[in-house]
């Protein structure tokens, strides 16, 4: 009988060890599963954030090109035309300029239509307003946001364009 009791104790001890082993394994599996899930959630979040950044850059289709140039005669014409139009059609009266860029839109037959886009500070209501000057057979100027600037491929984005336009406006 003593032998049976010892055998029972040995079996009980073995069962305890097995239960501890299964408990430790379950804990380890749960821990690793939790780590994998956290890694998966983090990866998906990063991919989604990166996807949204790409989508944001595509919303504004204005592109800036470093390999192209616009003839100086076109730049001078657009700045002079914008300046003349602001002087001849007031109000609004511009007192400052910013974000002035020159680019073009390609027509279906691949001809380039050059344009100048930017913002001016109105003396009357102290608000920044967008404007667009387009080189046509003469020129056209629009006050307010236009689709032209949204679709244009911008080539010149130098801060000096804002200064040149302001200088041209004040010298007349």
Looking at residue 14, its pLDDT comes to: 65
pTM of the model: 0.57
State which residues of the chain have pLDDT below 70.
Answer: 1-18, 50-67, 157, 172
Q: How many CA atoms lie within 13 A of 32 on its CB side?
A: 6
Looking at residue 60, its pLDDT comes to: 37
Query: Residue ranges of the alpha helices (H) in 60-170?
Result: 72-88, 147-151, 160-170
Quickly tell me which residue has 């919303």 as its tokens: 59
Listed by start position, the domains of the chain span: 1-59, 72-170
Show the tokens assigned to 82: 């914008």
Residue 75: CB atoms within 10 Å = 18
Looking at residue 17, its pLDDT comes to: 67
Cβ-in-10-Å burial (0-12, 13-18, 19+) of 80 comes to middle
Looking at residue 67, its pLDDT comes to: 63
């Amino acid at each position: 009988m003593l032998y049976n009791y010892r055998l029972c104790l040995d079996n009980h001890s073995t069962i305890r060890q097995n239960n501890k082993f299964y408990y430790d394994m379950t804990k380890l599996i749960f821990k690793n599963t939790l780590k994998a899930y956290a890694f998966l959630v983090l990866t998906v979040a990063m991919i989604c954030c990166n996807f949204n950044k790409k989508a944001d850059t595509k919303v504004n289709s204005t592109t800036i090109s470093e390999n192209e140039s616009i003839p100086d005669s076109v730049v001078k014409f657009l700045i002079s035309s914008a300046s003349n139009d602001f002087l001849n059609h007031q109000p609004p009266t511009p007192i400052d300029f910013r974000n002035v860029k020159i680019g073009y839109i390609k027509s279906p037959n691949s001809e380039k239509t050059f344009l100048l886009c930017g913002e001016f500070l109105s003396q009357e209501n102290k608000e920044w307003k967008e404007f667009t000057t387009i080189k046509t057979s003469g020129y056209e100027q629009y006050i307010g946001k236009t689709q032209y600037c949204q679709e244009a491929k911008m080539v010149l984005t130098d801060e000096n364009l804002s200064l040149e336009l302001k200088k041209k406006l004040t010298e007349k």
